[in-house]
Amino acid sequence: MSGIRGGMSGLSGLKAVVTGGASGIGLATSRMLAEQGATVAVIDLDPFGVPEPLIALQADLRDDASVCAAVEAAAGQLGGLDILVNNAGIGAVGTVEDNPDEEWHRVLDVNVLGTVRTTRAALPYLRRSSHAAVVNTCSIAATAGLPQRALYSAGKGAVLSLTLAMAADHVREGIRVNCVNPGTADTPWVTRLLDAADDPEAERAALDARQPLGRLVTADEVAAAVVYLASPAAGSVTGIALAVDGGMQGLRLRPAAGA
């Protein structure tokens, strides 16, 4: 008999924390985890609009004390912790010449150190779980050279390497660590980028065309991959990066006929 609670994909009885769970990929993930039976706490800069039954906890991932307090509150309210989704992140645009040191520190502080702080705070609880899983939201930017994303890519490259190192460090404690690598996903983040473009329609068409499937990834498609990696159904999966990118990393197409 399988020891999986609630069936192959069921998350019944499991307790999850999602950072950046108030918007986009994080909100879709939080909802899907809850739909599959997990109890879910969202840690976000501004979590107060999250729908029931999600538990809202405010924290700034740049502040270790704030992260520790939120993770402790989450574990207290949930009665433990089985799943940690390190998803919160911020963007940066530019070549290596463009971003001042202050911006490098700020973006890496959220995107890399935020993951470190939350995981560090969660590990004592995860060690007590028999279905412990960490899933990091990485990016296609970690595995492909994208123009104008030097700082953002450096941070996501660090998240990819950190995922592998953490998977090795904690495998014998029964804690699995994986990441998802989304392509460009249709979230409020990308809406903000498009709004800031000179020609938003042309920019959207260029982003759609860059992915072989010809469209942006949806937040739910990324969420489904995160939920799989977080679930007991992925009990033999650790140290992997699951691309959800419309074929962007793996495929090399010839131009479409007539294009």
Ligand X SMILES: NC(=O)c1ccc[n+]([C@@H]2O[C@H](COP(=O)([O-])OP(=O)(O)OC[C@H]3O[C@@H](n4cnc5c(N)ncnc54)[C@H](O)[C@@H]3O)[C@@H](O)[C@H]2O)c1
Nearest-approach distance from CB 140 to ligand X, in angstroms: 6
Nearer to ligand X, 81 or 88 (CB): 88
Nearest-approach distance from CB 204 to ligand X, in angstroms: 12
Residue 152, C-beta contacts closer than 8 angstroms, at least 6 positions apart: 91, 92, 93, 107, 111, 139, 141
Catalytic residue among 14, 18, 24, 152: 152
- 185 counts as binding ligand X under rule CB under 6 A: yes
- The rounded Cα 107 to chain-centroid distance in angstroms is 15
- 87 counts as binding ligand X under rule CB under 6 A: yes
Q: Which residues of 159-190 are buried (b: 16+ CB within 10 A; e: fewer)?
A: bbebbbebbeebeeeebbbbbbbbbbbbbebb
Nearer to ligand X, 88 or 133 (CB): 88
- The rounded Cα 101 to chain-centroid distance in angstroms is 25
Share in percent of the chain as helix, strand, coil (round to 5) = 45, 15, 40
Residues 19-78 binding ligand X (CB under 6 A) are 19-20, 22-26, 44-46, 59-62
Choose which of 41, 81, 190, 242 interacts with ligand X (CB under 6 A): 190
Nearer to ligand X, 33 or 110 (CB): 110
Nearer to ligand X, 111 or 129 (CB): 111
- 125 counts as binding ligand X under rule CB under 6 A: no
Structure tokens at 101: 């040191």
Separation between Cα atoms, residue 55 and residue 50, nearest integer Å? 8
Nearest-approach distance from CB 158 to ligand X, in angstroms: 12
Separation between Cα atoms, residue 144 and residue 203, nearest integer Å? 19
| Residue 228 is among the residues annotated as catalytic for this protein | no
Structure tokens at 71: 């993770």
Nearest-approach distance from CB 71 to ligand X, in angstroms: 12
Neighbours of 27 (CB within 10 A): 25
**Residues carrying an active site annotation:** 152
Q: Which residues bind ligand X (CB under 6 A)?
A: 19-20, 22-26, 44-46, 59-62, 87-90, 110, 137, 139, 182, 184-185, 187-190
